[in-house]
Amino acid sequence: MSSPVKITLIGAGSTVFTRNLLGDILAWPELREAHIALHDIDPHRLALSEKVAQRIAGALDARPTITATTDRRAALDGARFVISTIQVGGYRPATVTDFDIPKKYGLEQTIGDTLGIGGIMRALRTLPVMLDMQQDMEALCADRPLHLNYVNPMAMITWALNARSRRVPTVGLCHSVQHTAAELAHDLEIPAEEIRYLCAGINHVAFYLEFSHKGQDLYPRLKAIQREGRAPDWNRVRYEMLSRLGYFPTESSEHFAEYTPWFIKPGREDLLKKYNVPLDEYPGRCQLFEHAWPHIERELAEPGSQDPQALLDEVRGADIQVMPRSVEQVGDMISGLRQVQRSAEYGGTIIHGVVSGQPQVVYGNVPNTGLITNLPEGCAVEVPCLVDANGVRPTHIGRLPVQLAALMRTNVNVQELVVEAVLTQRREHIYHAAMLDPHTSAVLDLEQIHAMVDELMAAHGDWLPEWVRG
């Protein structure tokens, strides 16, 4: 008999996300005896994730081999699949620095993990770690390994890893496509499972090229929601983009607002109010999670021990500045931890499709090998992919509507410069990336941009590679 497939989770101390992924993976009969290898640099969080993994296995009547180690090479040894969920530098000090220093220059952000100066700095911290891990995967993993990456900035990481080596192909995974489809189904009062769509673009700036129900185009109804002022308050940016570009984007309004030059401008509180743009939303969510984590940890360790409503009331009274729906999600998180149910993530679906040979369709971030003809060759694109025993095979899209491709290229320019900076260790491209970023360049002049980048690199210190620190 062949040995069980080994699935390694790097960053398994992201315990809630690890729980969701393992619930998906171990629910498949073909994967119930897999070897699940958990790795994290935080022994406490790793031990909690191991305990949670054992409980999930019991709930699903699965019999996996579960190992946990702080030794990354040991975790990768023999792995057929590797799932990455790391965050280099964490909320403190790295994310706080990414927000506080730009704010001194008048540059405000909402999320700061994908593009903009926050996305650039996160990439500079993260890419060297991911490239080093890729070398370990090449040396240690089983034949035909597959790397499934959930780490942001998604497009830059997927681009850089696949540009450096295709021996261990990287597929970037995000939940924005399927989550947004469900949100729009809710707005239209149609069951989400009845919606049919085709989506393509780059991560966080992809668009639904088709969106229908029982053969009927739903775009006229979506446009009517925007025109009649019925768009949800938290989603005004994306409905505005629908009216301006003719297509609906996949990533949330708070994300999308900072990928363009139009919504966040110094002294324009009227724009923030009109489009309900939540500045500093990601730091607020991090503070919210820090506040809620002791409750979440106790619930993970002792299911049923925490009161979701009491936690919700507590975080509402904590005076943390976040969107109301971010607060509500904390209570939902506690409730959701009490039963193992399939999530909307694609990781488990891909692993099952490859192992079982049963065809699946997912949306993945992959190298642009002529898939989208009016985006640069080699950049990371998000397209539907067929998954089966042959692996993950992306589908050809062709030419996007010209206005969508033009918008995406403003983001791809920044991604390319960061990837080039890291792969060639050319420090000047970091400044070029910040200069060409749509939001940064709309707010700051060249001297401010250069000074801000210098200050950020000095502040991050050892979180950055030596060639960046200068």
Strand 146-149 versus strand 205-213 pairing type = unpaired
Q: How far is C-alpha 157 from the chain's CA centre?
A: 11
| Cα–Cα dist 243/226, whole Å | 7
* Count of other CB atoms within 10 angstroms of residue 196: 12
Nearest to 438 by CA among 406, 399, 400: 406
Place of tokens 């990601």: 282
CB 336 within 8 A of CB 344: no
For residue 14, give both structure tokens. Answer: 């992201």
- Phi (first) and psi of residue 193, to 5 degrees: -70, -10
Place of tokens 């692996």: 391
The residue from 35, 39, 44, 175 that is catalytic is 175
- Quick one: DSSP state of residue 192? G
* Count of other CB atoms within 10 angstroms of residue 465: 16
Looking at the DSSP bridge assignments, the partners of residue 10 are 39, 84
| Cα–Cα dist 461/456, whole Å | 9
For 201, half-sphere exposure in the C-beta direction (CA atoms, 13 angstrom radius) is 30
| Cα–Cα dist 313/16, whole Å | 21
450: annotated active-site residue? no
Which sequence positions are flagged as catalytic? Answer: 175
